[in-house]
Amino acid sequence: MDLEFLHTLDVQILGAVAVAIVAVVVGAVFLFSSKKPKVCLDPENFKQFKLVKRDQLSHNVAKFTFALPTPTSVLGLPIGQHISCRGKDSQGEEVIKPYTPTTLDSDVGKFELVIKMYPQGRMSHHFRELQVGDYLAVKGPKVNVLFQMNRIPLMFWKQGGCCVCF
């Protein structure tokens, strides 16, 4: 009886098991060691974000781009949530108003707000006066309802005269 065949088979099985173990270890190391981007928002305390760009889109609408603390930071705002922005009105009184950024949470290093500025709007005054290099106080997210994909088969929202179906 030729035992050489069994020895060759054992080496092949041992090699396959070794390759599988190495693949599992490498996958686990990659999965658990990959750093998640640093989240910048604090739901309780206002943080300051520097205005780095201001684009006037129309006579009363502008896009404001704010820098996050590092180029790899993300805002940390779940889908369907908003941030609270703090500023001063024309009389110098503090105003806090919610806004939803137009950037995705996967965008790193910055977030953008598109703001319509009304003549008598209290927070509009603050945004009209905001210049590149100034800071905006922001906190959030304010979580009332957390949106999760595929949890509800059909959702219908009526918001400000617009209808959106998911």
DSSP of 87-147, one letter per residue? Answer: EE-TTS-EEEEEE--SS-TT--SEEEEEEE--TT-HHHHHHHH--TT-EEEEE----SS--
Let me know: does 76 contact 39? Beta carbons within 8 Å: yes
Ligand-binding annotation for 99, yes or no, is yes
Please tell me whether 123 is known to bind a ligand: yes
**Any known ligand binding at 116?**
yes
**Cα separation of 166 and 151, whole Å?**
11
63 annotated to a ligand binding site: no
118 is in an annotated binding site: no
The helix/strand/coil state of 149 is coil
Q: Is 140 exposed, middle or buried (0-12, 13-18, 19+ CB in 10 A)?
A: buried
Instruction: Say if residue 124 carries a ligand binding annotation.
Output: yes
| Residue list for the binding site for FAD | 98-99, 114, 116, 123-124
| Residue list for the binding site | 98-99, 114, 116, 123-124
